[in-house]
Amino acid sequence: MSRIGKKPVNVPAGVTITVGKDNVISVKGPMGELKQAIDRDIQVTVNDNNIEFGRPTDQIRHRALHGLYRSLVSNMVKGVTEGFKKELELVGVGYKAANTGNILDLALGYSHNILIEIPKELKVATAQEKGKNPIITLESIDKQLLGQVCAKIRSLRKPEPYKGKGVKFVGEVLRRKAGKSAGK
């Protein structure tokens, strides 16, 4: 059995779970509602305060889906109760971030500023303190969408290994390389 798949998902008070036709799980909580389609081979059992997942056979495909859907529903339950938050840091001279509504304006050392429209499901905030690097804070109830948008922003200027300049996650540890060694 999958170690992750056989663990039941604990449902806190205030969260309602419904399994509709075509195996679509809907999770509704205080912060919003999320839906996820489940493969027809995976059985979903909703008890009073937990959800259990089962699989018909030990095929590789069924084993993979068993743990996958358990993790997805667990993230949905956590998202509608607490939400998810990620912070990105801009390291580099002249790197700036500003937002107006859900449009993010980034100055990353290119000839023009980069404008990114953030999906309406995400909340974006930027902070710029004197003497510190600019920080972009993204919040959402959907973990997958949040990670995808963060990865897109990070891909605009990945941190380079010599000086560490670029867009990185707050707390991310970068592998640094030594520069040129002078002398013969």
The CATH code of domain 84-169 reads 3.90.930.12
Task: Report pLDDT for 3.
Answer: 82
Here the tokens at position 50 are 């937990």
Q: Give whole-number Cα distances, 50 to 6, 68, 73, in Å.
A: 12, 17, 11
Here the tokens at position 1 are 């059995």
The CATH code of domain 9-81 reads 3.90.930.12
CA–CA separation, 36 vs 13, rounded Å?
Answer: 20
DSSP one-letter code for 132: S
Question: Alpha-carbon torsion 158, 164, 166, 168, what sign?
Answer: positive
State pLDDT tens for residues 24-69. 999 999 999 999 999 999 999 998 889 999 999 989 999 889 999 9
Predicted confidence (pLDDT) at residue 167 exceeds the cutoff of 60: yes
Predicted confidence (pLDDT) at residue 1 exceeds the cutoff of 80: no
DSSP one-letter code for 124: E
Closest CA to 88 of 31, 40, 10, 150: 150
Closest CA to 94 of 165, 174, 170: 165
Crossing angle (nearest 10°) for helices 60-81 and 143-155: 90
Please tell me the pTM assigned to this model: 0.89
Q: What percent of the chain has pLDDT over 90?
A: 76
Are 9-81 and 84-169 the same fold in CATH?
yes
CA–CA separation, 104 vs 134, rounded Å?
Answer: 13
Average pLDDT over residues 150-156: 96
Task: Report pLDDT for 2.
Answer: 66
Per the document, the length of the chain is 184
Q: What percent of the chain has pLDDT over 70?
A: 97
Q: What is the mean pLDDT of the chain?
A: 92
- Domain boundaries in the chain? 9-81, 84-169
